[in-house]
């Protein structure tokens, strides 16, 4: 069965620090990969996605993620975080030809000014 692992459950950073959130998935076939963000009191929103092509994906608000097929990973990065990036981040995987999104457990990011 597919699964998604997010090893960082809670990350605390100061503003301007660099961020990398890990995401690993288990599925042998072709997948679509997503990062979602949920700001306090708001909806889940799509941050970025990978379907095919360039494995380095640029998303909104300066976020990017790199798909490394050999490592089954899709880590999220941002060179310099801001206080407004404080949120819960979810990695998700969707095997092709299915409607199902399998989510990781989420990573809570707190950024202090």
41-50 long-range contacts (CB < 8 A, ≥24 apart) are 44/90, 47/76, 47/89, 48/76, 50/74
Window of 19-27, 52-60, 73-81, 102-110 that interacts with other proteins by CB under 8 A: 102-110
Q: What is the pattern of x (binds other proteins, CB under 8 A) and - over residues 6-25?
A: ---x----------------
Q: How far apart are CA 26 and CA 76, in angstroms?
A: 17
**Residue 110 binds to other proteins (criterion: CB under 8 A):** no
Structural tokens at position 89: 């981040």
Q: Which stretch binds other proteins (CB under 8 A): 21-29, 38-46, 53-61, 69-77?
A: 38-46
59 binds other proteins (CB under 8 A): no
């Amino acid at each position: 069965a597919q699964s998604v692992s997010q090893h960082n459950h809670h990350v605390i950073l100061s503003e301007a620090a660099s961020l990398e959130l890990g995401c690993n998935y288990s599925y042998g076939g072709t997948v679509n990969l997503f990062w979602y963000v949920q700001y306090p009191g708001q909806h889940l929103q799509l941050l970025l996605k990978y379907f095919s092509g360039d494995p380095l994906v640029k998303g909104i608000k300066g976020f990017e993620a790199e798909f490394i097929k050999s490592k089954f990973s899709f880590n999220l990065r941002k060179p310099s975080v801001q206080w407004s990036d404080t949120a819960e981040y979810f990695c998700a995987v969707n095997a092709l030809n299915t409607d199902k999104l399998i989510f990781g457990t989420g990573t809570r990011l707190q950024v202090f000014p």
